[in-house]
């Protein structure tokens, strides 16, 4: 059991949030969103138990995963997935969801400080520098901001928004420079899915923190940059598909689910064309892509082809 598997919660839970928003905007069946939300919570619970068992059975291997120069940052997926699961549970068990959110917020802070502190002390090779570096502070900070805002802890949410946004601005040039200077190894190309997520998640988080119409243009700018990142990945699709299918495919679902959610919430806030045209197209595309990844994963598990216990790219 590797932390990478928690990316499944981000994809399924993010899709559930998208269906909930679509139910408000387009009157699609609300039960679909709740089904995805329930699946995300159950998946989170199962993965937490499996990860705890992994730590108890082989703590040295679990610690080695966290200290790996390239893959260690993926452990931040645990608190981030906890936050996504708390949002899925919030309409039904608000107190339980709030306790989960508090645990997720604390986990984001603790792991980000630990991971970035280590990053500042240790040298990294170009091969070790991938978009996974975004996860502790950028992914963690922005999802924490979204969760805090959704639970009404707005001031706390702004603190996390600053953590996520400014970390993204600081790190993106480093990651892009690395990709310009040397190609990503084939087994790490799926990490580019993480690169698409920050602007879209930031747009959603911003709208969870404020109703100020004056900030709508900023949310639109973030969404626009996320759309551009998606276009770049679309252009790179043949190159990305050189990596064999595996658990790493779920790295794409973080941004894929966030982009239509941002579009739908922008339309709810009064955004016009072209967002009104992009929202349904992105929503359909997200369902098709994440659905395909989920079905392919299930089929591969049945065929015993997915190396769940092995190391994925990252």
Q: Buried (b) or exposed (e) across 134-165, using 16+ Cβ within 10 A?
A: bbbbbbbbbbbbbbbbbbebeebbbebbebbb
Task: Quote the pLDDT of residue 34.
Answer: 96
Q: Which residue has the tokens 């068992």?
A: 53
Asked if the model's pLDDT at residue 300 lies above 50, the reply is yes
For residue 68, tell me if it sits in a domain: yes
Structural domain containing residue 100: 3-17+37-118+127-302
Task: Quote the pLDDT of residue 312.
Answer: 43
Instruction: Give 234-273 pLDDT, tens digit per residue.
Output: 999 999 999 888 888 898 998 999 999 999 999 999 888 8
Cα Rg of the chain, angstroms: 18
Asked if the model's pLDDT at residue 307 lies above 80, the reply is no
Q: How confident is the model at residue 313 (pLDDT cuts 50, 70, 90)?
A: very low
For residue 243, tell me if it sits in a domain: yes
Task: Quote the pLDDT of residue 299.
Answer: 85
Instruction: Give 190-243 pLDDT, tens digit per residue.
Output: 888 888 899 999 999 999 999 888 899 999 999 999 999 999 999 999 999 998
Instruction: Give 130-156 pLDDT, tens digit per residue.
Output: 888 888 999 999 999 999 999 999 999
The CATH code of the domain that includes 235 is 1.50.10.150
74 vs 200, which has greater pLDDT? Answer: 200
Asked if the model's pLDDT at residue 281 lies above 90, the reply is yes
For residue 80, tell me if it sits in a domain: yes
| Alpha carbons 94 and 86: distance in angstroms, whole number | 9
The mean per-residue pLDDT over the stretch 82-92 comes to 96
For residue 135, tell me if it sits in a domain: yes
For residue 32, tell me if it sits in a domain: no
For residue 147, tell me if it sits in a domain: yes
Q: How confident is the model at residue 122 (pLDDT cuts 50, 70, 90)?
A: low
For residue 25, tell me if it sits in a domain: no
Left if phi > 0, otherwise alpha if psi is -120 to 50, otherwise beta: which for 93? beta
Q: How confident is the model at residue 54 (pLDDT cuts 50, 70, 90)?
A: confident
Asked if the model's pLDDT at residue 39 lies above 90, the reply is yes
Least confident of 46-50, 135-139, 307-311: 307-311
Question: Domains in the chain: how many in total?
Answer: 1
User: With pLDDT > 70 as the criterion, what percentage of the chain qualifies?
Assistant: 95
Q: Which residue has the tokens 């790179």?
A: 236
Whether pTM > 0.85 for this model: the answer is yes
Q: Give the list of residues 6+ apart from residue 181 with CB closer than 8 angstroms, or none.
A: 126
The mean per-residue pLDDT over the stretch 275-301 comes to 93
Instruction: Give 13-22 pLDDT, tens digit per residue.
Output: 999 999 999 9
**CA distances to 94, 204, 282 from 21, in Å:** 18, 11, 13
For residue 184, tell me if it sits in a domain: yes
């Amino acid at each position: 059991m590797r932390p990478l598997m928690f990316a499944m919660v981000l994809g399924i839970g993010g899709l559930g949030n998208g269906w909930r928003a679509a139910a408000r905007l387009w009157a699609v069946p609300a039960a679909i969103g709740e089904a995805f939300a329930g699946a995300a919570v159950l998946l989170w619970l199962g993965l937490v138990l499996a990860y705890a068992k992994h730590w108890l059975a082989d703590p040295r291997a679990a610690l080695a995963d966290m200290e790996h120069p390239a893959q260690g940052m993926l452990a931040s997926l645990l608190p981030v997935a906890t936050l996504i699961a708390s949002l899925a549970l919030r309409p039904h068990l608000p107190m339980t969801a709030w306790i989960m959110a508090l645990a997720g917020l604390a986990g984001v802070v603790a792991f980000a400080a630990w991971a970035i502190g280590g990053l500042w002390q240790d040298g990294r090779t170009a091969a070790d520098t991938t978009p996974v570096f975004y996860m502790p502070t950028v992914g963690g900070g922005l999802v924490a901001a979204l969760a805090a805002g959704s639970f009404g802890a707005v001031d706390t949410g702004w603190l996390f928004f600053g953590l996520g946004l400014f970390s993204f601005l600081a790190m993106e040039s480093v990651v892009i420079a690395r990709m310009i200077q040397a190609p990503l190894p084939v087994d790490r190309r799926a990490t580019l899915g993480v690169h698409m997520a920050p602007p879209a998640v930031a747009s959603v988080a911003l709208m969870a923190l404020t109703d100020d119409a004056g900030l709508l243009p900023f949310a639109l700018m973030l969404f626009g940059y996320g759309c551009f990142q998606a276009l770049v990945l679309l252009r790179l699709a043949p190159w990305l598909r050189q990596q064999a299918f595996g658990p790493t495919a779920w790295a794409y679902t973080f941004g894929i689910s966030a982009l239509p959610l941002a579009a739908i919430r922008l339309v709810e806030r009064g955004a016009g064309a072209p967002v009104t045209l992009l929202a349904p197209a992105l929503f359909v595309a997200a369902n098709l892509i994440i659905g395909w990844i989920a079905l392919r994963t299930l089929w591969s598990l049945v065929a015993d082809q997915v190396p769940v216990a092995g190391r994925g790219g990252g």
